[in-house]
Amino acid sequence: MKNKYLSLLTVLFLLSGIILTGCKPQEATKTEATQASVKSGGTLRYALWSSPTGSFHPSFSNNIYDNRIVDLVYEKLINLDENGNYVPSLADKYEVSDDQLIITFHLNKNAKWHDGQPVTADDVAYTFTTIADPDYDGPRFAQIENVEGAKDYKDKKASSVSGIKVIDEHTISFTFSKVFAPGLATFASRGIIPKHVWEKIPVAQWSKSEQLKKPIGSGPFKFKEFVPDQYVELDKYADYNLGEPKLDKIIFKVTNQDTAQSELIKGDLDIAPLSSFKQKDIDIYKNAGITVNEYDGISYQFMGFNFENSTFKDNKVRQALAYAINRKGIVDSVLDGHGKVVNTVFSGGSWANPGEEELSQYSYDGEKAKSLLKEASYEEKDGAFHKDGKPLKLTLKYSTGNKPREQAAVLIQQNLKDIGIELSLESMEYASLTKQLESKNFDLFLLGWSNDIDPDIKTSWYSNPGSIFGKYESFSSQSIDKLIDAGRSDFDQNKRKATYKELAKEFNETVPAVLLYSPNEGVAYNQKLKNYKPGSYYEFSNVQNWYLEQ
């Protein structure tokens, strides 16, 4: 089989169907670095609305708070620049076979772990082999399952993953059993872990290991300290293979949203994500010399179900709850109109989004909600719905720290009360919420999710236990699974788009969750922070070149 040597961006053009116009990320990085070459030092303080859980491992982290740390500590084979295009990272380049089934990566020979050990192809092989390990209990197997031999290894039918081959110290190849469209997104989203650190701990013990809280990676910043509910401190890694970072430190500070504005103005914070765009707040920021950027979001908020609760096994009940919630009211009152109601998990800017006209809108309609509940054998009595003589009472759980989500919960409670459903609210720290979700100690929950550059949703919405939310909800749907699998099995973007249109419609009718809204995203930041590019698809794409002007 003949291999063609291609540049990184050319390969990605062929494999992912992304059209790159006028993009020279390597040249741009060199120019940026030259401009900043005499600027260094400083500590950047970045606001987090909830405390990380301490699951600082690329095979386990599944929330934005842990992911912030993972993204800076662990380096990936390839990365995303600020425009969502793939660029070199641990891998300088790679080759792709004519049949698009084999990808061979060539690692940067200067890359080192934070403890000084060299990064090798064995580390890469170990990273991906362990997420196929029979004892691995994290959510990432879907990203490796199409590598030849991965399923046999997971099912204990083989002693290794045959499709992962270490060619030499700095070269590794992956052979896929069939065309796998999101394959490149996998390599751009999975940080590489050090074999010499993790091989000392049985894979079955990883998710509970204290090593999770003391990560050793090869990224631009190295871990220093984690104080739960207070901060995570990272130091620059001088030997980072893409260049020594300009900043000395980044401190992720757990911050109350109510005080973030004053902390930014006083200089106690340098970056704070924005979830509110009230004009009076924008004016305060600008008058204080704080830069504000707002842009379309790629995340969505949703209300999930516990499918082990018999109440939610009836699709009419789930649809009734969708009609009962005034989602536009949430966008208008909580977000001040800075967002949009969503009816699909595919973000508005994604080529996979089928368009709203293809989907049921579930526009706010209390009478429609009541009608569906009656079709589901509920009786309306004294202003409340009952079944088998018992009133319909539910509990909604959500994490503290996200003010729009907290406010949305109160509105949802009132909306359901208006149609005769009693809803209790329980808020808690994010770590406590995930434990309750994992133990199925809930009826309903509120969470959000941010989409990847590839529209594949297997890691988020495949049937239990094959995805994060499938596992939380105990959700299962053969029809949705079949469409997810089909969407991953063809590089032809037009065919994938047709598949994802069907998937969006099936999800929309099945209602595995009530999709609520996609908030506009934004950030307020210190105007002395240079080379920072808010609105980027990947915020930390050039973090080694950030600096605070003195």
CB contact burial 194-226 (16+ within 10 A = b; e otherwise)? bbebbeeeebeebeebebbbebbbbbbbbbeeb
Encoding tokens for residue 409?
Answer: 């919960």
**Does residue 345 sit in the same domain as residue 475?**
yes
Tell me which of 167, 189, 209 is where a domain ends. Answer: 209
Backbone torsion region of residue 268, taken as left when φ is above 0, otherwise alpha when ψ lies between -120 and 50, otherwise beta: alpha
End-to-end Cα separation, the chain, in angstroms:
56
Count of C-beta atoms within a 10 Å radius of residue 550: 8
pLDDT score of 295: 86
pLDDT score of 2: 35
Distance CA 27, CA 386 (A): 66
Closest CA to 516 of 313, 331, 381: 331
139: in domain: yes
Segments forming the whole domain that contains residue 307 = 299-520
12: in domain: no
Contact 223, 214 (CB under 8 A): yes
**Does residue 248 sit in the same domain as residue 309?**
no
pLDDT score of 39: 63
**Does residue 171 sit in the same domain as residue 292?**
no
Q: The domain spanning residue 541 has which CATH number?
A: 3.40.190.10
pTM for the model stands at 0.76
**Does residue 322 sit in the same domain as residue 453?**
yes
33: in domain: no
**Does residue 258 sit in the same domain as residue 309?**
no
243: in domain: yes
Tell me which of 155, 188, 209 is where a domain ends. Answer: 209
Parallel, antiparallel, or unpaired: how do β-strands 3-6 and 231-236 relate? unpaired
Count of C-beta atoms within a 10 Å radius of residue 13: 16
**Does residue 158 sit in the same domain as residue 240?**
no
Q: How many domains does the chain have?
A: 3
Mean per-residue pLDDT pooled into runs of 10, the chain (550 residues): 36 36 32 48 95 96 93 95 82 87 95 98 99 94 94 98 98 94 85 98 97 98 98 98 97 95 96 88 93 90 98 98 99 94 90 91 98 98 94 97 95 98 97 95 96 88 91 96 93 90 98 96 94 81 93
SS3 393: strand
Tell me which of 209, 240, 269 is where a domain ends. Answer: 209
Distance CA 13, CA 289 (A): 41
Parallel, antiparallel, or unpaired: how do β-strands 393-399 and 422-428 relate? parallel
Contact 91, 77 (CB under 8 A): yes
pLDDT score of 21: 29
396: in domain: yes
Distance CA 166, CA 104 (A): 10
Count of C-beta atoms within a 10 Å radius of residue 19: 7
Count of C-beta atoms within a 10 Å radius of residue 533: 18
pLDDT score of 14: 37
pLDDT score of 345: 95
Q: The domain spanning residue 364 has which CATH number?
A: 3.10.105.10
**Does residue 372 sit in the same domain as residue 491?**
yes
104: in domain: yes
Closest CA to 353 of 367, 363, 369, 340: 340
23: in domain: no
Residue 274 carries which side chain, given as an amino acid letter? L
Q: The domain spanning residue 168 has which CATH number?
A: 3.90.76.10
**Does residue 393 sit in the same domain as residue 303?**
yes
**Does residue 105 sit in the same domain as residue 241?**
no
Length, in residues, of the chain: 550
pLDDT score of 537: 67
Please tell me what DSSP assigns to residue 119: P
**Does residue 241 sit in the same domain as residue 358?**
no
11: in domain: no
Among all chains, which residue has been given the structure tokens 């209390």? Answer: 366
**Does residue 318 sit in the same domain as residue 190?**
no
**Does residue 434 sit in the same domain as residue 332?**
yes
